[in-house]
Amino acid sequence: MADRTLSINAPGDPRAVDPGSTDASSAAAKAGRSSRLHTILRALSPIAVLVLWQVGSAMGIIPQDKLPAPSLIAEAGWEVLGNGQLLDAIAASAQRVAIGLTIGVAVGIGLGLLVGLSKFADSAIDPNMQAIRALPLFGLIPLFILWFGIGEMPKVLLVSLGALFPLYLNTSAAIRQIDGRLVETARVLGFSRLTTIRDLVIPGAMPQILVGLRQALAIAWLSLIVAEQIAATSGLGYLINNARDFLRTDIIFFGLIVYAALGLITDAIVRALERYTTRYQNR
């Protein structure tokens, strides 16, 4: 009877499969083709939606007064760009976001540092912050108008308040998660409290702080859309309100697209900053 003992290939056996074999190369090539296919699909998917949207509008399936065709929205965009309204509106809105975000970043990170570093501050500040966070942000608009009028102040403060909480929560949580042994080692080595915070605590918390900044940017633009409904005379919100009065749905859609584009651009900037500041951690 033939010997049917199970044979196991030795590492040096030419029959053993190694990473450089034909099978491994074929698997890697197949994975590469699959990845490229998914990338192409992701790129073509929005284009397919636009084409179907345009065709549906041309055939009368999609009503133009409710959902204008992409070509009409593009023409409206060219119109407001040509007469200078778009650039003026973007400048006014960007200024409000910049001022509001600066205030929100300063207050949010400052309070997050206090709460994360001090149990006393945590007990004194955090309950009040959580209570304010539970309030509906846009429900504060009437109160802001009564307190600050209908000028720039309520718009900027609404943006600040929206941006504040993601930074506060992420900063305080990141500081609490820092390994206490590292802080103790810094103390043993003679680091001052300020040096420990500057060279250990803040760099350690920076990745999560930047996540909070990305969230704050998204909420800042969302808050601005509502804030610019408060008797605005400039900005993208004013452009959209003015278009509503004249039943220009195409300009309204274009204004919303500009809002989204500005949000994506600022998010990409923060993501690039995040990759730069954490480049040593990823090596």
Q: Is 262 helix (H, G, I), strand (E, B) or coil?
A: helix
Q: Where in the chain are the domains?
A: 28-60, 70-282
- Report the sign of the C-alpha dihedral through residues 227, 233, 237, 243, in that order: positive
Cα torsion 270, 271, 272, 278: sign: positive
CATH topology of domain 70-282: MetI-like fold (1.10.3720)
| DSSP letters for 160-213 | HHHHHHHHHHHHHHHHHTS-HHHHHHHHHTT--HHHHIIIIIHHHHHHHHHHHH
Torsion sign over Cα 167, 172, 178, 181: positive
pLDDT tens-place values along the chain, 283 residues long: 444 444 444 444 444 445 555 666 777 677 777 777 877 887 788 888 888 888 888 888 888 778 888 888 898 889 888 888 889 999 998 999 999 999 999 999 999 989 888 888 888 899 999 888 888 887 888 888 888 887 888 889 999 998 999 999 999 888 888 776 777 777 777 777 777 777 777 777 888 888 889 889 888 888 888 888 777 778 888 888 888 888 888 899 998 889 888 888 888 888 887 777 766 555 5
| pLDDT score, position 99 | 93
Helices (H), the chain: 22-58, 70-82, 85-117, 119-133, 141-148, 152-176, 180-188, 193-196, 202-227, 236-245, 249-277
Q: Reduced to 3 states, what is the DSSP secondary structure of residue 279? A: coil
Instruction: List b or e across 238-268, with b for residues whose CB sees 16 or more CB atoms inside 10 angstroms.
Output: bbbbbbeeeebbbbbbbbeebbeebbeebbe
Q: How far is CA 91 from CA 7, 25, 225, in A?
A: 75, 53, 14
Write the burial class of residue 158 (CB in 10 Å: 0-12 exposed, 13-18 middle, 19+ buried).
Answer: buried
Position 279 scores a pLDDT of 63
CA separation, residue 60 to residues 51, 242, 247, 251 (Å): 14, 27, 19, 20
**Cα–Cα dist 127/245, whole Å:** 44
pTM exceeds 0.85, yes or no: no
What is the tens place of the pLDDT at every residue in 50-94?
888 888 888 888 887 788 888 888 988 898 888 888 899 999 989
Task: Please tell me what DSSP assigns to residue 138.
Answer: G
